[in-house]
Amino acid sequence: ETNTLPFHPFENQQGDILRLEKEHQVLKEQLREAEEKFEQLQSRRLEEISALEDLLKKSIEETKVSQNELDWFHQDSEAQMKKWQQEKKENRENLKTLRGTAKKHSDTNERYMKSIDNKEKQYNVCLETFLETSNKFANEKGKLEELIKKSQDDSQECEKRAVKAEVSVLQTWKETEIWKLKGSIAKAEGNLRMLKALSSSASAAPELKSQIDSWEIFISNVKKQLEKVEAEYEEKIEQVKNGARDCLSKVEIVEFPCP
């Protein structure tokens, strides 16, 4: 019964702790991916906010310049009391304009914030589409790689069978030609032995001498032809085994006339 009963109060049934650990690992991985996505989005958003802050800073500087101009007007009003009413009116108008500009910048800032939110939503949609497309392409890539591997295996198998077939054909041709040449040699050697036996008679020796020489030359030529045929067929077989093509052709045989 050891380790076969649930571990109360942490388990209601056997394996709950392992299942919770696996779920915890999956949630940690999902959290890591979400943090990476959040950091990317935050970096992009910080760049856009930085641009907006620069624009806002420029607007503040323009406002400060206008405020300085307003202070200058107040200082100058002490020296020019006669024009104070007119300048005050102008200052009010300038102040109204500056307030309108400030409101305009405020509206622009709000519009940029909305634009940022919209772009963030669009980015999330594009990201989801990209992930779906990436998974789809990954699956298709896996299938294509399997097909390519299968095709390569089939091609290699076909090449092996083709090489084996070519070697078999060349071996058959070689054995056939060697069998023919060896048959000719055996027949010629039999005739030569018979002639040498007949030439043992002193009266027949001069007449058979030329025939014996002709048969000996014939046997020598056929043996050379046999060595040549065997060597060339072996060379062709080695070339085919090493991957050469267009080697499937018969070796040229020279036919020597029998004496």
Domain spans, the chain: 157-240
DSSP 191-219: HHHHHHHHTTSTTTHHHHHHHHHHHHHHH
What is the structure's pLDDT at 1?
47
Name the residue among 215, 194, 206, 225 with its Cα closest to residue 258: 215
pLDDT of residue 209: 81
Calculate the CA 145 to chain-centre distance.
9
**Rounded Cα–Cα distance for residues 207 and 196 (Å):** 12
178, 229 in Cβ contact below 8 A? yes
The pLDDT value given to residue 26: 93
Q: What parts of the chain have a pLDDT lower than 50?
A: 1
Return the pLDDT at 86: 82
